[in-house]
Amino acid sequence: MLTRFIDTFRGRISRPLEYYGDICVRCGACADACHFYAASKDPAHIPAQRMMLVKKALQGGESGKGKFLDWYREYQGADPAFAAQLEKAMWDCTGCRRCAVFCPFDLDTGLLVGTGRYAMLQEEIGPEMIAEIGDAEVSKGEIIDFVKEFFVEQTRELEARLQEEFHPDLEIPVEKEGADALYVPLVGEHAIIPAAKIFHAAGQSWTLSLFTATNHSYFVGDSAKAKDAANWIVQEARRLGVKAIVYPECGHASRTLFNYFEGWFGDELEGIERLNIVPLTYQYLSEGKIKVKPGMFDTRLTYHDSCSLGRSSGMYEEPRELIHAVATNYQEMTPNRELNWCCGGGGGLIAAAEDKFQIRMQGGLPKVDQIRETGAKWVVTACENCKTQLEDLNEHYKLGIEIKGVIDLIADALIV
Amino acid sequence: MEIIEYLLLYITPYIAVIVLIGGTIYQVYRWSQRKPVPAHLSLFPRPQSRLGRLGDALLDMFTLRGLFRVNTLLWIGAFAMHIGLLLLILGHIRVVTDFYFLWDWIGWGEEELHTFSLVAGVSAGVLFLVPLFYLLPRRFGGSVKFLSTPEDYFILILLIAIAVTGMHMRSVLDVDQHAMRKFMQGLYIFRWEELPESAGISFIWHFALVQLLMIYFPFGKLMHTIGSIFNKMVMRS
């Protein structure tokens, strides 16, 4: 039982994970941080307990039997009941790291869960769908020449439509060498449309990437594949000679861009800036490159801090400034910024589809309460995962709200 | 009995010091053998400059202000206990030497000093002991109950026992401080002295339990003393 989990995990312990088990004092501060624990009261959802379960599994030793002072370490052996608890601990987590903010030592459960998930998949426990999408993102680069034609054709159609609806000079360049910015979209045109409008209005020289920013291998802690998937984008940027890679409204992808790319690619990134569309749009606005109609929206709205963009990338003020530029009836959520509740849909749980729907809806309860308190009709956010989760929560709990992206608001309020 | 007393007074203290220092160095070495995560694990907001981040980490470590914001009650308990412990450790410097220059400078004689060390010692002891009686029962309920392992109870009870025996010596017994200091100095220079009669039975217990704590230190959660500052820097990288 769990031998492959144990072996895999042991081989992948990083420096922080080596001391997490030693230095956690089990003070329980993290229990109040976790949205899953708040909603379920299941001890396996307490962040410190997630770490303790891994620690107990690893203490089992090669034979699977405990050795020294079992009663003291509360080692029970790896039976199916233990494996079920461990599965909950590793998979019912969005890696939002709210618990790390609560922890007096800043211990990062997201890091633990990443490594744990990879090891769990070796044991074939957990939703394999997430890893499969990750694999598809890696292999997309190999078949890109076959799908390129179709992609370009679709983009031309979208371009023609936007020229009619928005501005006759609007362009959506693909594979344009010497462009300044490479915009990496998401699956679907909703991530391209507002960006194309804003780039057009700002007079930005840009080109659309053939790839998508999402990186599902990252969700399952497979850093080698996560790097491979991101590598296609870096190589595309180098081939086209762009000066910046711009990521869309996507939390986890932006987190990889800001916090992982340096370690993965090092010198290859020389001369390439790494940006997210939201701060970039704010830059356009503050430099006067784009103009918006102030007070365009008077609907009561609120902003949801995405965990990956806020806590993990420090993007707190730019989206708020952008919203204030176009909306008059803004209501802040409580708590907000680094203490904001996670929406409950991150960490790849959305991709696990039916498997994790129930737990997502449960884990979203603190968020639902927060939204209800603001009385907002629109919830604005800058992360695709959060948007999907909030849509699901909206439907499930009949909130009667609309979910919007930050750059959607700006694109709708542009003066061209 | 006499042989045990002899061991606890003159032999095991050296083992305790060796285990404490050697074990701590070994644990930190063990951690360092693992590869760091090739990513920035920063939590935001964080200061921009490297020096600012170090300052932020140290400030956070010494004030626990992050905990203050999210769990004020636990902060009061934890902070008071740690400050009490810090003051007690400072006070115990007088066991081997004394702040002679300081007393000269203030102009305190033997009697004033005696009163001061009684008041200060008991205050620090209370500051240390009272929070422990909050932290221990706290473990018997709520989500902390699920998390608590035998180690957690062991450490808390050990600390309470050390504090109680120490308080007993400080406030009930009239221990001859000069003779005590001579005894401890003897340990350091390997010229063993007799334990003064006035130390009483409390001293043996106090001394033995502290040695147990020192020996346990590297192998359990007490290593958070060292690990927390490392992690605070990692989470601001």
Listed residue (A373, A380, A385, A393) closest to A299, CA to CA: A380
Q: What are the tokens at A385?
A: 């995962």
Q: What are the tokens at A382?
A: 């800058």
Q: What pLDDT does residue B98 have? A: 80
**CA end-to-end span of chain A, whole Å?**
63
Please state whether beta strands A273-276 and A301-304 pair in parallel, antiparallel, or not at all (unpaired). unpaired
Q: Coil, strand or helix: which one is A327?
A: strand
Chain segment B24-59, per-residue pLDDT in tens: 999 999 999 999 999 999 999 999 999 999 999 999
Q: What pLDDT does residue A63 have? A: 53
Q: What pLDDT does residue A172 have? A: 96
Q: Does B141 touch chain A (CB under 8 A)?
A: no
pLDDT band of B123, cuts 50, 70, 90? very high
- Give the H or E element holding residue A278: helix A277-286
pLDDT band of B101, cuts 50, 70, 90? confident
Tell me chain A's radius of gyration from C-alpha atoms: 22
Whole-number Å distance between alpha carbons of A43 and A33: 13
Tokens 């009684």 belong to residue: B118
CB B129 within 8 A of CB B159: no
Q: What pLDDT does residue A299 have? A: 95
Q: Does A68 touch chain B (CB under 8 A)?
A: no
Q: What are the tokens at B68?
A: 């203050």
Q: Does A305 touch chain B (CB under 8 A)?
A: no
The CATH number linked to B145 is 1.20.950.20
Would you write out chain A's pLDDT as a tens digit for each of its 416 residues? 788 999 999 999 999 999 999 999 999 999 999 999 999 999 999 999 999 999 988 886 555 455 667 778 777 778 889 999 999 999 999 999 999 999 999 999 999 999 999 999 999 999 989 999 999 999 999 999 889 999 999 999 999 999 999 999 999 999 999 999 999 999 999 999 999 999 999 999 999 999 999 999 999 999 999 999 999 999 999 999 999 999 999 999 999 999 999 999 999 999 999 999 999 999 999 999 999 999 999 999 999 999 999 999 999 999 999 999 999 999 999 999 999 999 999 999 999 888 899 999 999 999 999 999 999 999 999 999 999 999 999 999 999 999 999 999 999 999 98
Count of domains forming chain B = 1
Angle between helices A109-122 and A80-91 (to 10 degrees): 130
Whole-number Å distance between alpha carbons of A257 and B179: 65
Tokens 């594979």 belong to residue: A175
Can you say how many angstroms the Cα of residue A214 is from the centroid of all Cα atoms in its chain?
8
Q: What pLDDT does residue B204 have? A: 93
A115-to-A311, A389, A410 alpha-carbon distances in Å? 20, 24, 38
Q: What is the CATH number of domain A133-286?
A: 3.40.50
Topology of domain A3-126, CATH: Fumarate Reductase Iron-sulfur Protein; Chain B, domain 2 (1.10.1060)
Query: What part of B 155-214 touches A (C-beta under 8 Å)?
Result: none
Q: B192 is in which domain, residue-wise?
A: 2-234
**pTM of this prediction?**
0.93
Domain A301-413 in CATH 1.25.40? The answer is no
Whole-number Å distance between alpha carbons of A268 and A229: 15
Taking an 8 Å cut-off on Cβ atoms, the answer to whether B230 and A108 are in contact is: no
What is A331-350 written as a DSSP string?
Answer: ---SS-GGGPPP-S-TTTGG
Taking an 8 Å cut-off on Cβ atoms, the answer to whether B143 and A28 are in contact is: yes
Domain residue extents for chain A: 3-126, 133-286, 301-413
Listed residue (A257, A195, A249) closest to A231, CA to CA: A257
Residues whose CB falls within 8 Å of the CB of residue A129, separated by 6 or more in sequence, listed in order: A351, A352, A353, A355
Max CA separation in chain B (angstroms): 61
Q: Which residue of A has its CA nearest to B40?
A: A259
Domains A133-286 and A301-413 share a fold: yes
